[in-house]
Chains A and B, each alone.
Chain A
Amino acid sequence: MTPSEQLPQTDHTTTEPAAEFVKDPSIAAGHSRRTFLFKLALMVNGAVGVVLAIPIVGYLLGPALKKTSADNSWINLGPLSNFPEGETRLVSYRNPITTDWDGQTGDIPAWVRRVSGETFQVFAINCAHLGCPVRWFAQSKLFLCPCHGGAYYADGSRASGPPERGLFEYQHKISNGILMISAGRMPTLANEAKNVTPLTQIDTRIKGSSAAKLSAIDQPQPRCSSCQT
């Protein structure tokens, strides 16, 4: 195929003499204006980049910058009669913030312990060590974690193993004979440092006078940030 072989040759014949003629220093001398315009164009591009970066970074960091409290809401766990006194039972609830395509992952389990009367403890399923699902053993009154063997007593306090603290607890309240918890986020250690008041103290406060009980229940903000992160 002769035409194809000629193709580069014809290219060369046309460009090579032209390239020799173009070597005129006077054209490159007027270069400073073009350099300036090029730099100006670059700066405009940089400004456009910054303007563009704001929504992009905002979009990317959206889930990270969201306030913890914004995700929490009160969730109905069912009537008190579902929870016999002295027992710890597994419940599950639909997370308040979900999408249709979350499927089963939007259903979150939790352990409800009815100590007596209206005294409850609601524990997150996630081990305080690395978040694996703890299981309740009523006979030995222990929560055991299958991942690294963390163990917790019935009241959620650390018994043994790698966890450095007790189980995460959800804030709860009882209204019209229904147990409700404030939840919405996967509990992790992240906010532990900010929160020095463990939820068990709310428990003791709730046990006091009815006025104190009401005031404790009507707190709009979750008291226990460590369990709601």
Chain B
Amino acid sequence: MPDLKQRGLEVYNWFEARLGLGTPLIEVAEHEVPANTASWWYVFGSAATVIFVLQVMTGILLALVYAPTASNAWNSLQFLDHNVRLGWFLRAMHGWGSDFMVAIVLIHMVQVFLFGAYKFPRELTWIIGVFLLLLTLGMAFTGQVLRFDQDAYWGLGIGASILSRVPLIGGPLVGLMLGGPIIAGNTLSRFFALHVFVIPGILIAMVGMHVWMVLRLGINDYPMPGRLVKKSTYQREYHELEKKTGIPFVPDAAWKDAAFAAAIMLAVIACALWFGPFGPSGQPDPTIIQTAPKPDYFFLWLYAVLAYLPPSLETPVLFIMPVIGIAALILLPLLSGEGEKHVSRRPAAVLIVSVIAVSLGIFTHLGTYTPWSPIMNAWTSDPIPVSYLHNRTPLEREGAIILQNKQCRNCHSIGGEGGLRGPALDAVAAHMTEDQIIRQVLQGGGNMPAYGNALSPSETTALVKFLTTLRGNDLQPAIDASRHVVSAAVTATPTNSQ
């Protein structure tokens, strides 16, 4: 054994004498960091890097089989899932890895923001980090496109439609994105190039710079309330802290990074085994229009925002908000590079993070069940509750059939079934009079199309008669308050009203 160890050392020395990388790397690993940086809060950056390595590895393995052409991509995914041994598992790892990577990059960013780590002298580290977030999201979107299914096809359509709204150069931008007149082979090829060559290349270079700066400038010391960052004194204070409380990064601080990275990897593996790969959903055949395209999890919030913006605000918000948002992130360390780091003394930071987190959470939640979308098959699949047909006249029951046949259910729910785009109709007669219902049905208004052209007078009568019977749990029917006044006036002076 000692002989073997001796031989091993000799081989190492042979390489080290020529390469000379071992000693500096060991020095880097063992460099002293302030003891208070060995925190469980400081593990997200390394975890994101580890998942990135996982993504690169699984991505290369998937590329061994994936066929990046519009005609074959979907089939090659099916082949990976069903014909290649463990192909499904690698697809699942890559898919879940991407979800975890977006999540951890976001958590890392929030932690850095709340710990004031972006302040002097780490401004550029933060700015590069902002680009790393954008590149990660770029990988997420292009990766979703490579899963070339219905969602990917129509997702590209949404992307092209958004780009087409850019003033002046919208048309050329769409051409640039699609690589041709329509979403087709060239589109997939250029997204493949982006996902596999361009973005990962930039990502690797920027991760390198990011990590280099962390090593050069030191890990952010754990904030203490009242210990302010001053450009004139910070470096000296940090070096004093390093000298007084320094511990070697490996292993004294790094064991937490290693443990967390292992836990995250296990979580990715567990999700991949338990839930399996994402999709692919239907074939990318645009002539199959029975589809409700939806983006992947991390873009659901944007999908929801696009549903709620008023038409006139949509284009400005789409192009001004991202510019403001990214500019704010980049300018943040330049404008507030000094001062308090501790979160308990930075209420605005907490407020900003809370508002953004709650907004993203709400919009993402809405995106999971899309209440703004008509349910296309509700009119044939959701029956009218039997109790709503009891003791109804034939005309009213005819109205129920018309309600069903005219696809009202696609947007309006009855008995808890149907679309959520319009209000539920269970108690419609309790807050609208017959006249108001007639007007609403024929002329539309609010967010409802006019049905005057789609309904004959007899159909309208039957439909409205049925709707007037819907009063929830026997609520009072809505009444026209002005009727009383008019009828009182009529009885008082009958000749005047004529």
* Interface-lining segment among A77-85, A112-120, A129-137, A205-213: A129-137
Q: List 8 A-B contacts (CB under 8 A).
A: A4-B18, A63-B178, A105-B285, A130-B161, A135-B290, A140-B406, A146-B374, A153-B453
Closest B residue to A185 by beta carbon equals B181
**B314 on the interface (CB 8 Å rule)?**
yes
Task: Return B266 CB to nearest CB of chain A, in Å.
Answer: 37
Interface-lining segment among A13-21, A39-47, A161-169: A161-169
Question: Which of A26-34, A64-72, A174-182 sits within the interface?
Answer: A64-72
Interface string of B392-435 (1 = CB under 8 A from A): 00000000000001111011000000000100000000000000
Closest Cβ–Cβ distance, residue A96 to chain B (whole Å): 8
> Inside 8 A of A133's CB, which chain B residues have their CB?
154, 286, 289, 291
CB contacts (< 8 Å) of B447 on chain A: these are: 160-161
Chain B residues lying within 8 Å of A139, measured Cβ to Cβ, are 379, 405-407, 454
Given A99-B185, A130-B306, A149-B373, is A65 in contact with B161 using a C-beta cutoff of 8 Å?
Answer: no
Asked whether B454 lies within 8 Å of A97 as measured between CB atoms, the reply is: no
- Judge whether B160 and A131 touch: CB under 8 Å: yes
Which A118-155 residues have C-beta < 8 A from chain B?
125-126, 129-135, 137, 139-142, 144, 146-149, 151, 153-154
Q: Is the CB of A108 within 8 A of B185?
A: no
The smallest beta-carbon distance between A97 and chain B, in angstroms, is: 6
Q: Say if the beta carbon of B444 comes within 8 Å of chain A.
A: yes
- Give the interface centre of A8, A101, A141 by most chain B CB atoms within 10 Å: A101
Contact, CB under 8 Å: A102 / B71: yes
Interface window among A187-195, A196-204, A215-223? A187-195
With A1-B14, A97-B181, A101-B72 as given contacts, are A63 and B176 in contact (CB-CB < 8 Å)? yes
The answer to whether the Cβ of A171 comes within 8 Å of any Cβ in the partner chain is: no
Binding site for A on B (CB under 8 A): 10, 13-14, 17-18, 20, 69-72, 153-154, 157-158, 160-165, 167, 170-176, 178-187, 283-287, 289-293, 303, 306-307, 309-312, 314, 372-374, 376, 379, 405-408, 410-411, 421, 444, 447-451, 453-454
Q: What are the 7 tightest A-B residue pairs by CB atom distance, in nearest-first order?
A: A103-B71, A188-B164, A159-B449, A131-B157, A190-B171, A190-B164, A64-B172
Tell me the nearest residue of chain A to B154, going by C-beta.
A132
Which residue of B14, B293, B449 contacts A160 across the interface (Cβ within 8 Å)? Answer: B449
B450 partner residues in chain A, CB cutoff 8 A = 153, 159
Are A184 and B181 within 8 A (Cβ)? yes
Q: Contact partner of B291 among A66, A102, A146, A161, CB < 8 A? A: A146
The A-B contact count (CB < 8 A) is 223
Give the size range of A's interface with the partner.
Answer: 35 or more
CB-contact partner of A142 in B18, B176, B283, B454, under 8 A: B454
Measured between beta carbons, the chain A residues less than 8 angstroms from B186 are 63, 99
Contact B171 A186 (CB under 8 A): no
Query: Within the complex, what minimum Cβ distance (angstroms) separates B298 from chain A?
Result: 17
Which of B158, B173, B309, B448 has a CB less than 8 Å from the CB of A132?
B158
Residues of A contacting B176 in the complex (Cβ-Cβ under 8 angstroms): 60-61, 63-64
Q: How far is the CA of A104 from the CA of B180 in the complex (A)?
A: 15
Say yes or no: A149 contacts B311, CB within 8 Å. no
Are A144 and B376 in contact, CB atoms less than 8 angstroms apart? yes
Please judge, given known A-B contacts A148-B373, A186-B160, whether A164 and B312 are in contact too, CB under 8 Å: yes
A50 interface contact, C-beta 8 A: no
A82 to chain B, nearest CB (A): 16
With known contacts A105-B185, A132-B293, A160-B444, A5–B17 Cβ distance under 8 A: yes
A188 lies within 8 A of B174 (CB): yes
**Contact residues in A for B373 (Cβ distance below 8 Å):** 146-149
**Is A51 part of the binding interface, using a Cβ–Cβ cutoff of 8 Å?**
no
Q: Pick the contact of A229 from B18, B158, B164, B454 — CB < 8 Å?
A: B164
B306 touches A162 (CB 8 A): yes
Q: Known contacts A146-B374, A164-B312, A188-B174; is A8 also within 8 Å of B17 by CB? A: yes
Besides A142-B407, A151-B449, 17 other CB < 8 A contacts?
Answer: A7-B18, A63-B178, A63-B179, A64-B176, A71-B181, A90-B287, A97-B182, A98-B184, A101-B70, A104-B71, A144-B376, A146-B373, A159-B444, A162-B307, A164-B312, A189-B170, A190-B164
A100 CB within 8 Å of chain B: yes
Given A1-B13, A162-B311, A105 and B160 touching (CB < 8 A)? no
A88 interface contact, C-beta 8 A: no
Residues of chain B within 8 A (CB-CB) of A68 are 171
Q: How far is the CA of A109 from the CA of B158 in the complex (A)?
A: 17
CA distance A144 to B165 in the complex (A): 22
Decide: A105 near B153, CB < 8 A? Known: A140-B406, A188-B160: yes
Q: Which residues of B contact A104 (CB under 8 A)?
A: 70-71, 283-287
A186 touches B157 (CB 8 A): yes
Contacts of A184 on B, CB cut-off 8 Å? Answer: 181-182
Contact A147 B175 (CB under 8 A): no
